[in-house]
Chain A
Amino acid sequence: MRISTLIRSSTALPALVPALGLTLSFYVFSTHDQVAYWPYPYAPTLVQRSIEQVYALSYALVSAAAAWQGARFKESRVRESAPYRREWTVVALALSPVVAVGWLILLVPVALAFSERPTWPTPVSLPPLLLGMALCAAHGVIGFVVGQRLKPALAVPVMACGVFLLVSYPHAMEPFYLRHMSGEYFAHLGFAETATAASMVAQLLPTLSLAVAASLTLTRGHALLRSGLGLVVCVGAVLISHSIVKDWNYNPSVNVNAVRTTCTGTAPEVCLPVNAGKDAKAISDEVHRTFAVLEKYQVVDSPPKRVEEALDYGRFTPDNTKDTGYLLLSTAQQENRVNAEVIGTYVKFPCEMPQPTLRRAVLLWLEQKTGTMPGYERIAAGDPFYTPAQHQETLKAVDEVSAKSATEQVSWYKKISRSACEGSS
């Protein structure tokens, strides 16, 4: 069949309109922010974040359109005509435009993400996309088989809503293993994270086995044998998949530390991902400058041996130790507040909950010496009770202190950190 005829005669053509509309809307209103958030373009994040919201929609649309194709296939009585081509090639040809529409739903946001954050896809970034594409095909087969039994008037709403609900609801419900098996890889991959092979297999197997079982109904042969085989495949696949994911919490297993880092300087040694490029020197200089000030005013006794970019550890950031600090340096650099990130982490008060106004005075006092100070809006964004008058008062106090000698400032700092903790444990 000519390609133009194949497309024109397929259910895929009308399905293209909602497909593109939905995937573009999700990109513009939701994914775009996720893609813009990360300090560096990182291929696995760009791929996975772009498609995690549209997995379920692509499956639902493919399933419904394939059911329609299946019904038309049956009504056209292709199977009753004399064999000219192999039957599976006829079915595959009828399904290909429909599955292609599903692939388009997944590929369009990925392409947009990569054009917005220029970088190239890497092999480790592709498994979540390939998972979606494979499961589009699987849902196509399942829908096609349903279409053999059910007329489109019922098959379209049942498959569209059924698949959408079954795939997208598990990620908001317990038990957790359901979300790792539904085919929707909603992992929120961040910087330095990649999908594990185990998590991909667990997502793939249940739906794929259902597609295999469904396609067995299209074959000829002993009915009992076929249904038995289908059942065995399904149960086996679900058991394997469940055995992989049964101990996971809401996080699937992810590989972390998937980026190369370089370390520069001493006391502290600053380790940043190579993606930082020319920013690395600016970040490292600001870290050193800040620690010098912290040491001078006796806020810290000695700087840690090493400061690492916390993003390198993905979602599982280790706790700071005496020797090593894990800071969000790259994100801070984007907002020009590396000094604030260091100060906020290393200024310690003798209590858990110091009095916020006094704590803020100390932070501003140090930030003024090391670089940029946050404006009122930025502080107020994190504290709704903070008024402009309070801000002016704090700034005035900070200016007064900064005019004094270094020893006086140190004793001011000691006094303030004690009084910030009065009345609290």
Chain B
Amino acid sequence: MIWWLKTRLVHTVLACGVAAFGLLTFLFQDGTVVLPAISVTAGNTVLLAGFTPLLVVGALVQSLDSRLTTAEVTGTRPVAWLDTGLVVVTMITVAALTAVGGFLLDSPAVVAAGRNSLFLTGLALCARGWTGRSSIVFPTAWIFLVVLVGHRTADDFFPWAVTGLALGSSTAAVAAGASLLLGISLNHHMTTRQGSRP
């Protein structure tokens, strides 16, 4: 177990990623920035906390990507299950962290950042079985997509731009759950089938 935790950089990269995410999200809270956009001409206001979930996703992708290939293919350890467990535990940690933080700071944007972390992690995990560490490109591209063409008007998002939607939106909540479930299942399936990826 300790061997596996060290290989996956849980105590270094993943812990630091989640900590940095928490710190920045709590710092930004409901702070916004005005950015250029394609879909609206002016006043494209975006939550700063919309960007921080990528730290969790990035750290998780790097963590899952850090392997001891030869030792892991021997099959003496249930590596796929351990990986899935790692993802689940990280997601529970992030959700709990943002739920508590959002409650204490009275900031819905913090809780939404936790929800978005689930969605974006799911997005990356869906692709990870095929693209390996390049899967981080998909959540990053998604964030840019929402910033540039996600706005219908200056303060309203299209329904597909789920990471931009407010905390109360059921579409966004369902999308986050579905994305994470699909991502975890696909990632688990691909890890068992292929063993470790190069």
Contacts and interface: CB of A to CB of B under 8 A. Distances in A.
A154 interface: yes
A156 B33 contact: no
Interface in B104-146: 133-134, 136-137, 139-141, 143-144
Nearest to B43: A172
B47 to A, nearest CB: 12
Nearest to B137: A156
> Which of A14, A25, A30, A161 has the most chain B CB atoms closer than 10 A to its own CB?
A161
B38 A26 contact: yes
A156 B34 contact: no
B67 to A, nearest CB: 13
A14 B51 CA distance: 22
A157 B59 contact: no
Contact of A169 (B35, B58, B65, B136): B35
A301 B149 CA distance: 55
Given A158-B55, A160-B140, A165-B51, A153 B62 contact: yes
Contact of A157 (B13, B35, B41, B136): B136
A108 to B, nearest CB: 15
Contacts of A14: 137
A18 interface: yes
A151 B62 contact: yes
A53 interface: yes
A130 to B, nearest CB: 21
Nearest to A28: B38
B159 interface: no
Interface string A22-39: 100110011000000000
A56 interface: yes
> Which of B17, B136, B143 has the most chain A CB atoms closer than 10 A to its own CB?
B136
Contacts of A64: 140
Nearest to B62: A153
A25 B38 contact: yes
B54 A169 contact: no
B36 interface: yes
Contacts of A161: 51, 54, 140, 143
Contact of B34 (A57, A157, A158, A172): A172
A127 B13 CA distance: 42
B143 A152 contact: no
Interface size bracket, B side: 20 to 34
A153 B65 contact: yes
A156 B35 contact: no
B61 interface: yes
B57 interface: yes
A22 B38 CA distance: 9
Interface string B46-66: 001001001101110110010
Majority SS at the chain B contact face: helix
Interface string A321-359: 000000000000000000000000000000000000000
B58 A154 contact: yes
A209 interface: no
Interface in B6-65: 13, 17, 33-36, 38-39, 41, 48, 51, 54-55, 57-59, 61-62, 65
A168 interface: yes
Nearest to B53: A157
B136 A152 contact: yes
B140 A157 contact: yes
Contact of A22 (B134, B136, B140, B148): B148
Interface string B142-157: 0110001100000000
A13 to B, nearest CB: 12
Nearest to A64: B140
A151 B64 CA distance: 13
Nearest to A155: B58
Given A18-B141, A161-B51, A165-B51, A153 B38 contact: no
Nearest to B33: A169
A169 B34 contact: yes
A156 B137 CA distance: 7
Interface in A122-162: 151-154, 156-158, 160-161
Contact of A30 (B35, B38, B48): B38
Interface in A162-177: 164-165, 168-169, 172-173
A264 B136 CA distance: 64
B33 A154 contact: no
A153 B61 contact: yes
9 contacts: A25-B148, A25-B149, A26-B38, A154-B13, A154-B62, A156-B140, A157-B58, A158-B55, A161-B140
Given A56-B36, A165-B35, 6 more contacts: A151-B62, A153-B65, A153-B133, A153-B136, A157-B54, A165-B48
